[in-house]
A and B are shown apart, each in its own frame.
Chain A
Amino acid sequence: MSRVDTVLLPELDGPVPATPPSALGLLSLALGVGTLVAPGPVARLTGVDDSPAARAVLPAIGLRELGSAAGLLSGRRPAGWAWSRVAGDAMDLTLLGRALADRGGARRRRVALTTLAVAGITAVDVLAAVRVGQARRARARVIRLEIAVTVNRSPAEAYRFWRDMENLPRFMAHLESVRADDLRRSHWIARGPAGHRVEWDAEIIDDQPNKSITWRSLPGTGVPNAGRVCFVPAPGDRGTEVRVELRYAPPAGALGRAVAKILGEEPEQQVRDDLRRFKQVLETGEVIRSEGSPNGISVRQQAMQRPAQPLPASRR
């Protein structure tokens, strides 16, 4: 079964870099191999063939490019390697700047053209490094949850209740309402603190009757999210294992603070309590309430409770 992580959710994964790290890697590879295999023509092309130092410096630059290529193509820490390319570019520009001052005529023109080309590459590298970093940070902000509960009802009953999205606010504490626009699309409203409301549209992108439902928010929401619920028959005739995977990215700023409050400091606990209420509603028909917990399960109210203290030894 595919994971919820495979659900395409562009906002969740951050901006896609115009130049992916692998393209930068290929560029480094080409430059590195070219410089090492043909140092003479490269020196002529760039206009530094008159310098004895070029014979030592060019292979070093080629080796550096190969190092960057290996790092970028390996796929590990792409942001770091992209910035290493920028550092290399800066070094090249410095060397070219010195070369430009000493030369004249056709050679000076060639060095100037090379400088221009390297400056262009530098711009592409800087842009790519920034984008790669942004994407990485966006992915790091995504919260992933996997929580399950066993419900003493058949997969078909559990599926049917969940598939009617308008039922969700009956057990998801922070949801005010879900309106089904049609069989796939729905409009969700979550209640936040101090009258804050978060709204979004969602669509069901995969629906396997009595087995699983996968949904994601539609583009344009402030809180991109995706989820999947699977209904797996529990062994030993014990009903259904309801397994939920969620992925969402709380936004930054005031909206982000509101979302964080809605989901509490322990989003896992919140979802676990939501699932417990799902079990209660399916098994008993209602959310269970007590005088001390008039709203049913609530993390916030649990956190407010003060424990009783034991009797001081002197008074026993």
Chain B
Amino acid sequence: MKATAWMGTDSVKVIDVPDPKIMNARDAIVRISTTAICGSDLHLYHGYIPAMRKGDILGHEFMGEVVEVGPQVRNLAPGDRVVVPFPIACGHCSSCQRGLYSVCENSNPNAGIAEKIMGHSPAGIFGYSHLLGGYAGGQAEYARVPFADVGPIKVPDEVSDDQAVMLADVFPTGYMGAEMCDIKPGQVIAVWGAGPVGLLAAASARLLGAERVIVIDRFPYRLRLAEEHIDAETINYDDVDVLDALNAMTAGRGPDACIDAVGLEGHHGNAAMYAYDRAKQAARVETERPFALRQAILACRSGGVVSVVGAYGGFVDKFPMGAFMNRSLVMRTGQCHVQRYTRPLLERIQRGEIDPSFIVSHRMPLRDAPKGYKIFQKKQDDCTKVLLKV
């Protein structure tokens, strides 16, 4: 089959690889119809996530048709159209049973290395390095889906591929970012990052009853999407000071909750600040450029919530602990527990409450994946989200 493979930093290729096989009794094989390039795939592309090997198949957002199931899979049958959550979760460990699917205790066969870096291992993730399991990804013609009796859900015909594939990662991740803010009527929610997750977090904050949503980014075309589709107010940090702007917009209170949908490869409007973290990151003194996180902590109203769904990999330098502690802030974080959200969010799509596919800017065939990575990386051609059609 054809698959998108990581060939080294800034290099992906569509190559021929063997078809996936059933390896465990609860596996399914899915023929992929639509798959997406995620912002966190860019962290792999840029080489920031350790333990990638040349030839590793990328991709953790995908959907398609079940073509084969293992003997223990009873909920799915060949022919079912399914979308697959990006974290691989066994459904039986105590984390899964508490709904914490992205920290499944069993699904990372390389848990030992992850433990050395993170203390405890999170779940395995499709196509996301050997640190997180060494699973082949879904930017391919076929994918093996472990624990197919737990993760994938069937997609009804009236929901399109473009809508459904958002349920693999970005929509639930954005939704969880908003849910962690514990939004109450009258509240103001600020979202750092107008990428797919940031836009869907802002949209979810609306769904959950936020009175005002403020989106912070530097690309005018992305901010325009936030204004047009979510009725959000926007701040372009290349033009104004974010803290001043937020204080002015909230009469000095600060947003009730701040969502960091940026993660480890952030940018900063101030060239000196940016150079400082860039240099430290290059020297491996820190692994992140946590501009959004620092700013979110400083901006948040006292007693508010900082919700982090942007991806971080290692260690943060200059974390404003003084502000965080003295102002009674709460931080809530996590890779999304996608399995918790797929069904209720699918129902919201079916009821017409939201169409998450408004973030899609590009659709192209799988063979054009290298081009898709390039334009997403460079933010060319007003790119927000690339779907690959197989």
Question: When each residue 258-295 of chain A gets 1 if its CB lies under 8 Å from chain B and 0 otherwise, what string results?
Answer: 00000000000100110010011001111011111110
Tell me the complex Cα distance, A316–B47, Å: 11
Q: Is B47's CB under 8 angstroms from A310's CB?
A: yes
A313 is an interface residue with CB less than 8 A from chain B: yes
- At the interface, is chain B mostly helix, strand, loop or mixed? loop
Q: How far is the CA of A292 from the CA of B128 in the complex (A)?
A: 11
Known A-B contacts A286-B24, A293-B134; the reply to A310 vs B93 at CB < 8 A is no
Docked pose: A307 CA to B90 CA in angstroms: 27
Q: Which of A276, A291, A305, A316 contacts B136 (CB 8 A)?
A: A291
Contact B282 A313 (CB under 8 A): yes
Contact A297 B112 (CB under 8 A): yes
Does B109 contact A293, Cβ atoms closer than 8 Å?
yes
Complex alpha-carbon distance, A292 and B56, angstroms: 8
Say if the beta carbon of A239 comes within 8 Å of chain B.
Answer: yes
Q: Quick one: which of A150, A276, A284, A306 has the most chain B CB within 10 A? A: A284
Prevailing SS type, chain A contact patch: loop
Whether A297 contacts B109 in the complex (CB less than 8 A), given A291-B134, A292-B56, comes out as yes
- The answer on a CB contact under 8 Å between B52 and A308 is yes
Cβ of A283 and Cβ of B90 under 8 Å apart? yes
Contact A286 B282 (CB under 8 A): no
Which chain A positions have C-beta within 8 A of B112? 269, 272-273, 276, 297, 299, 302
Interface size band for B: 35 or more
Question: Do residues A289 and B23 form an inter-chain contact, with CB atoms below 8 A?
Answer: yes
Of B8, B25, B51, B106, the most chain A CB neighbours within 10 A belong to B106
Does A167 make an interface contact (CB < 8 A)?
no
Given contacts A279-B106, A284-B26, A305-B113, contact A292 B10 (CB under 8 A): no
Q: Roughly how many angstroms separate A296 CA and B10 CA in the complex, as a whole number?
A: 30
Q: What are the residues of chain B within 8 A of A288 when measuring CB–CB?
A: 24, 90, 106-109, 124, 146
Residue numbers in A under 8 Å from B49 (CB-CB): 308
Interface residues on A, range: 35 or more
Contacts of B109 in A (CB 8 A): 288-290, 292-293, 296-297
Taking the complex as formed, is B87 at the interface, i.e. its CB lies under 8 A from any CB of chain A?
no
Q: Is the CB of A308 within 8 A of B50?
A: yes
Q: How far is A309 from B124 in the complex, measured between Cα atoms in Å?
A: 21
Cα–Cα distance between A152 and B97 once the two chains are bound (Å): 10
| A238 interface residue (CB < 8 Å to B) | yes
What residue of chain A has the Cβ atom nearest to residue B23's Cβ? A289
Contact of A291 among B108, B144, B278 (CB under 8 A): B144
- B147 / chain A contacts, CB cutoff of 8 Å: 284
Please give me the residue from chain A that is nearest to B113 by CB atom: A302
A interface residue numbers (CB < 8 A to B): 150, 152, 238-239, 269, 272-273, 276, 279-280, 283-286, 288-294, 296-297, 299, 302, 305-311, 313, 315-316
Contacts A284-B90, A284-B106, A307-B50 known; list 12 others, CB within 8 Å.
A272-B112, A279-B106, A283-B92, A284-B147, A285-B26, A288-B108, A288-B124, A288-B146, A290-B124, A290-B135, A294-B23, A307-B52
